[in-house]
Chains A and B, each alone.
Chain A
Amino acid sequence: MIDFYLNGRRQQCADVPAETSLLELLRLHLGKTGTKEGCASGDCGACTVAIGELDAQGELEYRSANACILPAHQVASCHLVTVEGLARSDTPHSAQPHSSQLHPAQAAMVDHHGSQCGFCTPGIVMSLFTLYEQQRRTRAPLTQQHLEQALGGNLCRCTGYRPIRDAALAMGDYPDFQLAWADNTELADNLAGLRSDAYVAPQNYAMPQDIAALREMKRLRPRAKLVAGGTDLWLETTQRLETLDDIIDVHQVAELRTIDETAGGWWIGAAITLAELSPLFSEHFPAFEHLLHRFASSQIRNRGTLGGNIANASPIGDGPPVLLALGARLRLDGPEGARELPLEDFFLDYRKTALAEHEFIAAIFIPHPSAGRNLKHNLKIWKLSKRREDDISAVLGAFAWRIEEGVLRDVRLAFGGMAAIPLRATATEATLEGRAPDSAAFAAARQQLGEELTPMNDVRGSAEYRRTAASNLLERLRLMIEADNNHSAIKVTLDAYAH
């Protein structure tokens, strides 16, 4: 039984198969067709909904998600808001609401001519709604970055986005709006009540709450698929038509949901979402934080996890190269006990990892920057893709170094998209280690890089392009170090790609 609130009203859905997506639950089981399917792969945003969960203060916080690849069982104990739930007249087949009954996100879209064919519009409205709620809570002024973050995962083929941008900028100026459930002061309490009730999952969709239970389930069902955000796994059913009927959902495992700082660094629970990493990264690794905005759309970052990004072992995942450059380690856990290993040793071959059948990734360790290694500064992450937002890398380069008495030390050059696995170019690192960051050293490094890496040819880029671009990223690195030393004003990257 999935027990949750939908647009302010309690909703209970029984007998929902494990592989059901939230979009299927809405459209097929509940007849709520306002939420659209554009791609069923989490790439277009037409299915965007808002998921309200209680924050630490017991207040409801709404985050956007792609319903098409969200396991339906994950909305248990949440307040799900769909496009049907914003305007005050919310019976689906009543006469259309008067414009005064529209939420500011909707009213601004109408007033600024933000819809043409209207198919992406429900998703756009829901992304605007979460932005509106976020602004209402933080009272922060809207920046271009907020807008891109909120709307970068919503494709519109008609408008060219200008009127949507205008609507987003204007909606904050509309009169305060009372949502239909706003007078339901008990909603938060009710949700808390649902959360404390034991969630009864179907046999084949387990949702363990602690690591001991997870270990036990892994022992009993070693072949069960682990799911955290579902942002990759659910494509197996929506795209490849696989049957997902043996699922262990780790997104509520308490031990996987913490970030613990120790003397040496941070242990990040594998089920921490990419969105939840933002505060830590913006304080300590701003380049990583900046990458998050291009890593994936907000809808994906709100559900996808760092652990999932590693376990997935894609050669073009954006997390692993950065973590390699940062010297990350993994803690693997399972019924046989836990072990640690450097991230380098985790990736064995194309989509093959060191993870044993009964094991799972419990946490990722990122060491504190060592003395003299100022990673606020000396960490560069450059992602190359056809589109700036919501695209997958052709090449990702993550570079960390420090300069000691004029020479390069602790050089780490990690790449994605340059081999069957994410990896460090260790021979190239060695050519730079201990040398002054000059043209000669980098020319040698670029030469070495060409010999060391064997990139692939695929839809995102040719091997030749990848090789050339990766080599040029080293040149960019050299120019950047040089520019820093000379306080030069010459631009070596486009503003939109700086950091």
Chain B
Amino acid sequence: MRTLTKLDPSSGPAHDKKSAANHSHAHESAIKHVTGRADYIDDLPAPANLLHVAVGLSTVAHGRLHHLNLDKVRAAAGVIDVISVADVPGHTDIGPVFAGDPLFVDDEISYVGQCLFAVAAESEKAARRAITLADIDIREGTPSFDPLDAVERGNLVRPTHVQQRGDWQQALDQAAHVFEGEQFVGGQEHFYLEGQACLVAPSEDEGVIVYTSNQHPSETQTLVAEVLGISLHAVTVENRRMGGGFGGKETQASPWACIAAIIARRTGRAAKLRLPRRDDMHATGKRHPFHNRYRLGVDDQGVLLGGEITVVGDCGHSPDLSDAIVDRAMFHSDNAYSLGSARVTGHRARTHKASNTAFRGFGGPQGMMIIEQAMDDIARRLGQDPLTIRKRNLYRQGRDITHYGQRVEQLSLLSDLISQLEDSSDYWARRTAINAFNAQSPIIKKGLALTPVKFGISFTLQHLNQAGALLLVYTDGSVMINHGGTEMGQGLHTKICQVVARELGLEMTEVRISATRTDKVPNTSPTAASSGADLNGQAARDAASKLRERLFDFAATHFDQNNGGLDREAMRLENGHLVAGIDESEQRIAWGELIQAAYRGRVSLSEKGFYATPLIHYDRHAAKGRPFYYFSHGAAVSEVEIDTLTGEYRLTRTDILHDVGDSLNPAIDTGQVEGAFIQGMGWLTSEELTWNDAGRLTSDGPSTYKIPAFGDLPPVFNVKLLEGHPNSQASIYRSKAVGEPPFMLGISVWSALRDALSSLTDYRTCPPLDTPATPERVLMTIERLKTEGPG
């Protein structure tokens, strides 16, 4: 007979508050990260006979695949298998929501970088070299790259959507001033440091086990099953961690898993597919570039009365997630401001490019850009400071309904936050100093801007707002929690362990997460929309509290039976003990002892948890509803200097105050805020995607695509979390989602650049500045102002 593990009575946790959920615990993998022991897909021990897969990509943007001769590829040294569309046993379209994403090109080619075939070989180099031997005959068509032209011709990946509230035309007619403007907002490459990668092993039955760097294991499970033509229960998908995701591994991780799965089933050998950086950048979609315009009427105070906003997302060749992304751009084209009576129109343009996809903010940042441009334009045209105009337009009592009909709660939060930040950043004194500096500095000009963020939290696709968790307690008292979320660096696993530790009164070290697996928690949503901790934290808490209640029921009758059992009412788990009664009647039972007793008492020590976000709904036909459970907020003040001779600029100082409700982990949340801000700044400044006339991406590696580097960190960087504003909704411990909202704080840098440029017009206008605002764009704007005047 098996005996239970002998418990060490001295191993009980010390009496401290470290298991509390709001503690700044280090990332659960921190020590593994710094010692090189954290395994990513390419680091997993290679199974015997591992095959390496490389993919053959289209070199033209549009045309018909006339002939594909792979004989020489098959004959190349080390090649074991070569597959193309004819070799796909099941579905050949892996579009995640709508059709349109062929696994391999059958006939029509839609972008440079589209997958034509795949090769499996004994080494990665052999596979990649064999790829170059293919004979490919393509009848080239005429590609289209211009999204505005696509809208004009009705070439859309999804129908146009319109949101409207009030009589926007009347508002324009009656406004004291009407302003208009347009902008191009560039896309963004995810540049996760770990590229797309997966390793697929055939399993004993007809299925596979898939190890993948992936934000959406359940979707990959479904697609792999469909591509192989087998049931979902034959496919298991596992992810321990990603080396960055940012949205780029939500739908775009699946094709590689599908391809490797086909190879694994055909050869009976494990297959690894890891995209080289350049292939990754050509083959996968990016943040959508947008063309936006506004026409808005204001009163003499600069308060918006209404008007219209149009956003055009460049979706690339297929729908992918673009419907929801353009929707989110529309939902955020108000940012923090009441638009008045407004119509917001969103078009989804088709172009012959990689299918653009999720990226931190999911269209929200692109939508916000247009209203932030409008705020600066209105302010300078009316001779006001942009901050004054922004504050006047914030949602407030009587102006608290969005253009899609959701009432904004926590109305005073953002104005409180802004006024705190105004003070702590010394905004007005610096404004005066900058004006004085600019007046006497002919070459170097400074700019300053405060921009707020109000970001809606929830998937706008209602059914995704659910999560599951599986809690396992073993007989030595150690705890395993699995949940549907994935870890990509955001600290989700750390937060979930904190939640479970808090619910069970344990130390963090006693709770562990193995990996995200579809055979532990099924039918999960992507780890996206900033929702990871909100959804999975609640599911984990649900599991833990159910188990706790069961243990309480057991303990109440099992212990101290001579005295009629323990007091069930005041029972609690704290500091590694079950505690019953209070003061002198208090009784303590160590966690391990409780668990072993419960095991012997035949009480289940595992529990599943579930959560579905309440309240949310959106009627797409009426374009009205409450798509968001709540809003997360923040604001940033950035100061820049520009050199008017070269367009070079530096960010010299940024101050941030950000709302995460009651933080689950202040260190992790601060890390999210800072990292998102810098990433947002990169999007709007140095990260430039360029394509040649044939539609081939020319910024296809880190030597040509420049994400922020160490020296781009501003010398003064004050980042604080807002205190004293718990979430007004019953989120997990009244915290708020943090992954995406602070990304949009980067807009303050762009607005500050425009402010510096505005000084060249004596602040009479605010010159348009498309993004990314590279030194070239800044210089060319300056040159235009010199030759054309402020106009």
Contacts and interface: CB of A to CB of B under 8 A. Distances in A.
B710 A147 contact: yes
Contact of A160 (B675, B698, B701): B675
A60 interface: no
A133 interface: no
Contact of B37 (A34, A36, A37): A34
Interface in A263-316: none
B43 interface: yes
A491 B326 CA distance: 44
Given A121-B34, A494-B650, A116 B242 contact: no
Nearest to B783: A468
Contact of A84 (B36, B443, B490, B712): B36
A159 B775 contact: no
Given A155-B707, A386-B686, A33 B779 contact: no
A468 B779 contact: yes
Nearest to A496: B650
Contact of A83 (B35, B441, B708): B35
Given A84-B35, A458-B698, A465-B779, A386 B646 contact: no
B118 to A, nearest CB: 16
Binding site secondary structure of chain A: loop
A365 to B, nearest CB: 30
A341 interface: no
B244 A83 contact: no
Q: Pick the most buried of B192, B245, B678, B703: most chain A CB atoms within 10 A of its CB.
A: B703
User: Chain B binding site: helix, strand, loop or mixed by DSSP?
Assistant: loop
B409 interface: no
Nearest to B703: A43
A119 B38 CA distance: 8
B276 interface: yes
Interface stretch (B22-30, B531-539, B570-578, B596-604): B22-30
Interface string A144-185: 100110011011111111111100000000000000000000
Contacts of B194: 36, 38, 117, 119
Interface stretch (B125-133, B287-295, B411-419, B612-620): B125-133
Contacts of B135: none
B1 interface: no
Interface string B441-465: 1111000000000000000000000
A154 B193 contact: no
Interface string A398-412: 000000000000000
Contact of A106 (B34, B490, B719, B776): B34
Interface stretch (A107-115, A212-220, A354-362, A430-438): A107-115
A147 to B, nearest CB: 7
Nearest to A96: B31
A102 B442 contact: no
A113 B671 contact: yes
Interface string A114-144: 1111111110010000000000000000001
Contact of A465 (B35, B649, B776): B776
Nearest to B680: A160
Nearest to A118: B33
A118 B243 CA distance: 6
Contacts of B646: 382, 384, 469, 472-473, 476, 497
B193 A44 contact: yes
B723 interface: no
A389 interface: yes
Contact of B713 (A43, A111, A162, A241): A162
A157 B707 contact: yes
A87 B37 CA distance: 11
A492 interface: yes
Given A118-B33, A386-B774, A468-B783, A459 B710 contact: no
Contact of B193 (A105, A151, A155, A394): A155
B36 A490 contact: no
Contact of B36 (A33, A44, A388): A33
A409 B766 CA distance: 43
B702 A116 contact: no
Contacts of B277: 38-41
Determine which residue in A125, A157, A390, A468 has the highest number of CB atoms from chain B within 10 A of its CB, and name it: A157
Given A158-B675, A163-B671, A472-B645, A115 B30 contact: yes
B443 A117 contact: no
B246 interface: yes
B671 A116 contact: yes
Contact of B489 (A92, A158, A392): A158
A458 B699 CA distance: 10
Nearest to B668: A113
B488 A41 contact: no
Given A38-B277, A468-B779, A459 B704 contact: yes
B679 A110 contact: no
A161 B710 contact: yes
B246 A160 contact: no
B711 interface: yes
Nearest to A126: B36
A64 interface: no
A461 B699 CA distance: 12
Given A36-B40, A459-B690, A41 B675 contact: no
B702 A161 contact: no
B428 interface: no
B667 interface: yes
A110 B31 contact: yes
B444 A113 contact: no
A344 interface: no
Contacts of B676: 160
A428 interface: no
A39 B775 contact: no
A418 to B, nearest CB: 14
Interface string A23-38: 0000100001111111
A57 interface: no
Contacts of B706: 385-387, 391
Contacts of B783: 468
A159 B674 contact: yes
Interface string B49-88: 0000000000000000000000000000000000000000
Given A159-B675, A473-B646, A492 B34 contact: no
Interface in B550-602: none
B241 interface: yes
Contact of B35 (A36, A40, A87): A87
A46 interface: yes
Given A115-B30, A476-B646, A157 B701 contact: no
B193 A119 contact: yes
A97 interface: yes
Contact of B677 (A37, A39, A43, A160): A160
A67 B488 CA distance: 25
15 contacts: A36-B243, A37-B42, A82-B36, A110-B34, A113-B26, A114-B34, A157-B190, A157-B707, A163-B671, A388-B712, A389-B709, A391-B706, A462-B776, A469-B776, A490-B443
Name the 9 nearest CB pairs between A and B, nearest first: A34-B36, A117-B489, A119-B243, A160-B678, A118-B33, A116-B489, A43-B702, A83-B36, A33-B43
Given A113-B26, A494-B444, 20 more contacts: A37-B42, A38-B195, A38-B277, A96-B35, A97-B35, A110-B31, A113-B27, A113-B671, A119-B194, A120-B193, A155-B191, A155-B707, A159-B675, A160-B675, A239-B701, A385-B775, A462-B776, A465-B776, A476-B645, A497-B643
Interface of B: 24, 26-27, 29-40, 42-43, 125, 128-129, 132, 190-195, 241-246, 276-278, 440-444, 488-491, 641-643, 645-650, 667-668, 670-671, 674-679, 686, 688, 690, 698-699, 701-704, 706-713, 715, 717, 719, 774-776, 779-780, 783
Interface of A: 27, 32-41, 43-44, 46, 82-84, 86-87, 92-93, 96-97, 99, 102, 105-106, 109-111, 113-122, 125, 144, 147-148, 151-152, 154-165, 239, 241, 382, 384-392, 394, 458-462, 464-465, 468-469, 472-473, 475-476, 479, 490-497
